[in-house]
Amino acid sequence: MFEPREKRWRVIAAGVLLGLGFFVILARLFQLQVIQAADLGQKAGRQHHKVLTIEGGRGTIYDRSGKILSMNLDVPSVFGAPRVITDTRRTASHLARVLLVDAGQVEAKLKNGRDFVWLERRLAPDKAERLRALSLPGIGLIPEARHFYPNGTLLAHVLGFASIDNEGLEGLERRYDAQLRGERGHFIVERDALGGAVFPKGLNYAAPSAGKDLILTIDEVIQYIAEQELDQAVTKTRANGGVAIVSEPKTGAILALAVRPTFDPNHPGSDANLSRNRAIADIYEPGSTFKIVTAAAALEEELFSPDDLVYGEDGKYVVEKTVVHDHHKHGWMTFAEVLHKSSNIGIIKVGQRLGPERLAKYVTAFGFGQKTEVDLHGEVRGLTKQPHAWGSRSLASISMGQEVGITALQLAMAVSAIANGGWVMRPYIVSEIKASSGLTLARFEPAARRRAISPTTSRVMTDILRGVVLPGGTGTMAALSGYDVAGKTGTAQKLDPNTGRYSKTRTVASFVGFLPADDPQLTILVVIDEPKTEQWGGTVAAPVFQRIAAQTVQYLGILPRDVSGQVLAAQAPEASKRSK
């Protein structure tokens, strides 16, 4: 009699359990279909799709007039999908004939079991067309940006170059890599049930975007002038290399920076000796150009005036049991003539009056032994010592530019301080950073690092350095008709690594100066490393300075003056015409 009631309860229990089961299933479906739908969709996408990234093109670099110095070109790159290829050997053979590579190497890449493999990046257009015509299964082409330098070797050490993977390796390309890099693009391929890549005919492709642009202080025309003249000098004298720098002394803006030997950033190769920026990475003993520092220090400390007399000892002077010689025998000279004639003995006596502490103070004040803070990669500090580390001959040696290691850019900035009233400026090459839309994102202005000397000392030194290029001075070959030039020659013997002594045949010849002396617009430095035919700064480097200056003032429209200091108006139209 209890059987019907038990049966009924069993049915009810089974119904409740079945209902709970349906409820759990519905709740789970709601969770999967509604609550977790977005996350699960993404997970499914990751399982059935593979995202491959493409590097964005680098930003464009312009000179100060808007001329393109580096740019991007879209070029095709060829890839393979090994799992899609059925006849690997045949495919590799076809590819090898087009790419001009070993078929065995291509076949090895296609047999590595990966979903995707690059076969060659940034193809030449003719190769890309031949590959398209072959229409090989599992082989595709994707556009990639290739950074291109349209002027070849021009400005190579400043621009630098980037790797095939869009990483800046040298020069501005490295220093401003974060700004120049573009946003990555991508394309999506589908996966099959086994996880292999399936490349549909219509790739889901999102194009990369270019990086930010740089506007430089460099002037392409002045750069060309500097490189041409430096090339001729290095070739004519059979020198190891050289540097030429043109800058604005009042701002620190670099208008040209030429280095030899050079390279083509489109094909940089692996020789670091060619791509090294010797203007900021190589140190050398400057010799007589450094006498400017000693003389300026003595004037600033009011130890000498231009007309004070210094005895030249008839060309021989003993310093710590070592005989110092002048190239010519000099008797009594004025302080100014010590620089005009580039007397070693005269400047040593000036240095002895200064003493180690005061000389060291001005060596530092002019920026030696520290980085100039130029916006280039690879700058070194140079080599200077504190007075407590000087030897018995150090005061004499440093006074005339020995026992001190400097860079060419440091010297250009130090002499610019003489020209501009005493300020050591921070040299700079990038003036603006812009978005691809043209919007200015950052602008860099001239910045003074410190005052080295007073305006009075600057004016007196400028007057003295004018005399270097006048008859009787060592730099007459730097003189430019119609313009007041102020400057200094330098001929520095290099140490012989075998003997530890200064070589009589290996020298660095240099000239550094500025013009017009009464209102300096240009500082120009020329350094020639180990010239073979001639050795003197006055005959090797000074003429290069003169030729660079002559062409640059005409190009910029800096007008000449007559002997009374008046602008020669008759020449103004022609100069203005050249500047346009």
Query: Contacts by 301-308 with C-beta closer than 8 Å and gap 24+?
Result: 301/354, 301/358, 303/350, 303/353, 303/354, 304/335, 304/350, 304/353, 305/335, 306/334, 306/335, 306/336, 306/460, 306/463, 306/464, 307/334, 307/335, 307/336, 308/334, 308/335
H or E segment and range at residue 206: strand 204-206
Active site residue 93: no
Q: Which of 70, 288, 394, 397 is catalytic?
A: 288
* DSSP secondary structure code for residue 453 in this structure: S
Rounded to 5°, the CA angle 231-495-361 comes to 95
List, as one string, the DSSP characters of 233-302.
HHHHHT-SEEEEEEE-TTT-BEEEEEEES---TTS--S-HHHHS-HHHH--B--GGGGHHHHHHHHHHTT
Q: Is-contact 512 519, C-beta < 8 A? A: no
List, as one string, the DSSP characters of 290-326.
GHHHHHHHHHHTTS--TT-EEE-GGGEEEETTEEEE-
Residue among 434, 289, 301 at smallest CA distance from 368: 289
Angle between helices 542-556 and 572-579 (to 10 degrees): 90
- Residue 469 CA to residue 489 CA, distance in Å, equals 9
Beta-carbon count within 10 A of 307 CB: 9
- Residue 171 CA to residue 547 CA, distance in Å, equals 27
Residue among 422, 414, 429, 415 at smallest CA distance from 370: 414
**Residues catalogued as catalytic:** 288
